[in-house]
Amino acid sequence: MGKFIVIYKFQVKKGLEKDFEKDWEKLTHAFVNYSRGLGSRLHMDPSGIYIAYAQWPDQSTWTTAGSRLPEHAKALADTMRAKCENVEVLFTLDEIKNLLKTDGPNQ
């Protein structure tokens, strides 16, 4: 079976976009290092809304990921959320097929 995918939507407060991006990157690394996360991609739509695509080995790993973070990473998650007007999980998905190329220049 494929990976478990989570699609997030972040409405970031005006003027805090770059700080949010830095926090998102650090938090993604923490989930990879401490919680068995498989990484994430961050996107922005034309209206300035951030969309993140995160991969996990399975739903159980995602569900319990926060409990495996050290305190400094939990604080970072709180700081990142405080930079947002709204945070939503748009979708949770089971990967069926994956045809993404993974050896591109941004890897």
> Which CATH number is 76's domain given?
3.30.70.100
User: How confident is the model at residue 106, as a pLDDT?
Assistant: 58
pLDDT in tens, the chain (107 residues): 689 999 999 999 999 999 999 999 999 999 999 999 999 999 999 999 999 999 999 999 999 999 999 999 999 999 999 999 999 999 999 999 989 887 666 55
Residue 54 counted as domain residue: yes
Residue 38 counted as domain residue: yes
Q: How many CB atoms lie within 10 A of CB 31?
A: 23
Residue 9 counted as domain residue: yes
Q: Which domain holds residue 13?
A: 4-94
Residue 106 counted as domain residue: no
Task: Work out how many domains the chain is built from and give that number.
Answer: 1
Residue 103 counted as domain residue: no
pTM summary value: 0.90
Give the C-alpha separation, 60 to 53, whole Å.
Answer: 17
Residue 105 counted as domain residue: no
User: How confident is the model at residue 101, as a pLDDT?
Assistant: 84
Q: Among candidates 7, 17, 18, which has minimal Cα distance to 85?
A: 17
Residue 107 counted as domain residue: no
Crossing angle of helices 71-82/17-35, nearest 10°? 150
- Cα angle 28, 29, 32 (rounded to 5 degrees) comes to 90
